[in-house]
Amino acid sequence: MTSDKTVPVATIRYLPFIHAPPTDLSTIYTTLLKLVAVAEKLGQPHILVTGDLAIYLKAQQILWSKPESLAGKVTMRLGGMHLLMAFIASIGKLFGDGGLLQLLTATDVYADATARQMLQGKQLNRAVRGIKLVLEALSHVYLTSAQSWCHCQGIQWMALDTYDGITDLQHTYRAKDKDSSRQIIDNLDTSGVTEALRQFQAMGRSQSATFKFWDNFMDSAHIMLRLLRAERDADFDLHLDAVCETIPYFICGGRNNYAKYTRVRG
């Protein structure tokens, strides 16, 4: 028997405004107390709080002082959007003048002024799409070159059953069949291709500084994709792993506060 009655799973409510500067220590402390009180009413002994860098660092200072009312009840987390914008700005700082800006503009995908703003961490949606387009183009060249190199070196590139599995996976993606996709991924043996790519990467990085430069860019783009997936899938473990991988880029890109506070836990 079915019922037409809709049962709400969750209720979203807005807390009252605090008429004070948002980055003031007393404002942040009051907000944390209120959030802990709300969590306790809902039966949650612990709460995860998200904030931008300005709020995050001051909230951590409050938690480090270990006030009894907050001790062991709050974990602070940097906001995903601001973290991603800062990371893209670091990518732009490291790779923009090395050819990334030219790839975005010389191909007439983006205007020069737009591309420069994207690589400064602004226009987030365009920046993410632009980096994904460059990654896709480089990946095509990378895989084609790796396959040719393996054939020249007499290294097996891909077993027949692996090729068939990847073909089937493409079909499930087009059909948006998540269950079948997951089943194929779980059973797919890509160890041979992985080893061939590892050898090709080691060769390329040892022989060409240009190869190493763009290989590092592709690594950073994959980190960006992991940050996005962690946000969209609410995967906190993946978020922590991806954030740890951003730290060297923040250091090299001059984002010192992000480099410092992304290492803070609890």
Q: Given a cut of 60, is residue 256 above it in pLDDT?
A: yes
Is the predicted pLDDT of residue 153 greater than 70, yes or no? Answer: yes
- A 10 A CB-CB count for 134 gives 21
Q: How far is CA 231 from CA 48, 224, 243, 247, in A?
A: 14, 11, 12, 18
> Concatenated DSSP letters for the chain?
----PPPPS----PPPP--S-TTSHHHHHHHHHHHHHHHHHTT-S-EEEEE-HHHHHHHHHHHHT--TTTTTTEEEEE-HHHHHHHHHHHHHHHHGGGTHHHHHHTTTSS-HHHHHHHTTT-SHHHHHHHHHHHHHHHHHHHHHHHHHHHHHHT-----HHHHHHHHHHHHHHHTT-HHHHHHHHHH---HHHHHHHHHHHHHHHHH-HHHHHHHHHHHHHHHHHHHHHHHHHT-HHHHHHHHHHHHHHHHHTT-HHHHHHTT---
The per-residue pLDDT for 202 is 95
**What confidence tens digit (pLDDT) does each residue in 29-86 have?**
999 999 999 899 888 889 988 888 889 889 988 988 888 888 889 988 888 898 999 9
Give the tens place of pLDDT for each residue, 99-151. 999 999 998 889 999 999 999 988 999 999 999 999 999 999 999 999 999 99
pLDDT at res. 178: 86
Percent of all residues in the chain with a pLDDT value above 70, rounded to a whole number = 95
How far apart (Å, rounded) are the C-alpha atoms in residues 212 and 216? 6
Conformation bin of residue 11: beta by default, left when phi > 0, alpha when psi is -120 to 50: beta
The residue-averaged pLDDT of 15-37 equals 88
pTM of the model: 0.83
If one counts every other C-beta atom within 10 angstroms of the C-beta of residue 1, the result is 2
Contact predicate 53/260, CB 8 Å? no
